[in-house]
């Protein structure tokens, strides 16, 4: 059609009134089926709501903030893509803020979003600005934390099943016969770092193996942590027969560290990573991973936020949701050259 698509065009194609189309795009219809049909028609037509005009009329910004650490992490990219598509279909505009996991940058982002009158917030918190997030909640701005919880504030939170994911990954390596499993993990003060370490330790304890702090390297969520951890674990005495990289951003650093030493996966060392991304499946050999379900996590985060924006649900201070993690076996893990048969694994792991 000639010219920009209007709300009237959407209504005419959907065979509804303009007011019904407007409520559907704002997520305000009682019939979820009708609402989704109208939103789909609007997306197919390429309809773009005039956010500024609507805001002046209704005194609402229709802006939602998404605050993440980086876009190198595959989970954050998926989170941004899913949230953008879902919120746009509901008539909202997403404002993406990247903080580099820095509390000062996070505080600046929150101030900017407040100045722009953002109506809601999805955030992977640093854990250092809990009082400001709690203040936003008290002021009527719904806040949904994802991937990490903020221990200093009672906020609705959606997490991956990290304890179970790290447990399943470690148990997989144990079942293959590995006894020295190096772990590269996030910082202990973060939810994911702490919980993935706990899953690793639980699997070792159930197998009757002592926890060896010398096999664990923790650090910031960046490739440099993976490179430093790989070097430390491979050069520090008895070499591990498997590496579990449970700090996603560190994966590239680990791959470089292995290449530096001419080590082949899985011939010389088994490799298991956390959080899937296309590049890991394209590697030769393809890398086995623990997938934390970022798309499902993003969908639930948006669902909860939209329900609260519509007044259909309120946040319980201690309300926490979990998305399950799953092991994806590919070709990067195999039994070590000299398998020791004396592991004491639970029956279901054998």
Q: Where are the alpha helices (DSSP H) in 212-269?
A: 223-235, 251-260
Q: Report the greatest alpha carbon distance in the chain.
A: 74
Whether 316 has a pLDDT exceeding 50, the answer reads yes
Same domain for 333 and 189, yes or no, is yes
Whether 61 has a pLDDT exceeding 60, the answer reads yes
pLDDT of residue 343: 43
Same domain for 311 and 229, yes or no, is no
Please, which pLDDT band fits residue 290 given cuts at 50, 70 and 90? very high
Q: Domain range holding 212?
A: 162-291+326-349
Residue 209 to residues 185, 200, 205, 212, 309: CA-CA distances in angstroms?
A: 19, 11, 6, 9, 49
Q: Which tokens is 220 given?
A: 């910031």
Same domain for 240 and 277, yes or no, is yes
Same domain for 180 and 264, yes or no, is yes
- Write the Ramachandran bin of 208: left for phi over 0, alpha for psi from -120 to 50, otherwise beta: left
Q: Where residue 105 sits, what CATH number does that domain have? A: 3.40.50.2300
Same domain for 319 and 331, yes or no, is no
Residue 53 or 198, more confident = 198
**How confident is the model over 95-142, as pLDDT tens digits?**
999 999 999 999 999 999 988 889 999 999 998 999 999 999 888 899
Query: Which residue(s) pair with 323 in the sheet?
Result: 160
Q: Which tokens is 108 given?
A: 């600046």
Residues contacting 145, CB < 8 A, separation 6+: 123, 124, 125, 133, 155, 156, 157, 158
Distance CA 160, CA 298 (A): 11
Closest by CA position to 344, among listed 185, 152, 203: 203
Same domain for 257 and 178, yes or no, is yes
Distance CA 62, CA 306 (A): 11
Whether 210 has a pLDDT exceeding 80, the answer reads yes
Same domain for 154 and 170, yes or no, is no
Same domain for 111 and 225, yes or no, is no
**How confident is the model over 13-30, as pLDDT tens digits?**
999 988 888 878 766 676
- Domains held by the chain: number: 3
Whether 211 has a pLDDT exceeding 70, the answer reads yes
């Amino acid at each position: 059609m000639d010219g920009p698509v209007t709300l009237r065009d959407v209504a005419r194609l959907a065979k509804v009134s303009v007011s019904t189309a407007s409520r559907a795009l704002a997520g305000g219809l009682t019939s979820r089926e009708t609402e989704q049909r109208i939103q789909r028609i609007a997306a197919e037509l390429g309809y773009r709501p005039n956010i500024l005009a609507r805001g002046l009329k209704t005194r609402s910004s229709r802006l939602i903030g998404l605050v993440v650490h980086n876009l190198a992490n595959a989970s954050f990219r998926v989170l941004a893509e899913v949230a953008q598509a879902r919120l746009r279909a509901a008539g909202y505009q997403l404002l993406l803020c990247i903080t580099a996991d820095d509390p000062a940058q996070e505080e600046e982002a929150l101030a900017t979003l407040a100045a722009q009158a953002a109506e809601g917030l999805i955030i992977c918190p640093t854990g250092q600005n809990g009082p400001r997030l709690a203040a936003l909640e008290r002021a009527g701005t719904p806040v949904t934390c994802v991937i990490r919880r903020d221990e200093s504030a009672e906020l609705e939170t959606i997490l991956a099943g990290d304890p179970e994911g790290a447990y399943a990954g470690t148990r997989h390596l144990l079942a293959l016969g590995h006894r020295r499993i190096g772990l590269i993990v996030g910082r202990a003060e973060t939810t994911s770092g702490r919980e993935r370490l706990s899953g690793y330790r639980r699997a070792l304890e159930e197998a009757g193996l002592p926890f060896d702090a010398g096999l664990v390297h923790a650090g910031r969520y960046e490739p440099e942590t993976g490179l430093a951890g790989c070097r430390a674990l491979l050069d520090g005495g008895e070499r591990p027969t498997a590496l579990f990289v449970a700090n996603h951003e560190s994966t590239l650093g680990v791959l470089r560290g292995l290449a530096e030493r001419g080590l082949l996966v899985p011939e010389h060392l088994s490799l298991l990573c956390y959080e899937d991304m296309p590049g890991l499946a394209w590697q030769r050999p393809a890398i086995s991973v623990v997938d934390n379900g970022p798309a499902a996590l993003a969908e639930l985060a948006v669902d909860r936020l939209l329900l609260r924006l519509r007044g259909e649900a309120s946040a319980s201070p201690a309300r926490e949701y979990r998305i399950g993690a799953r092991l994806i076996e590919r070709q990067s893990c195999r039994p070590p050259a000299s398998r020791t048969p004396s592991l004491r694994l639970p029956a279901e792991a054998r």
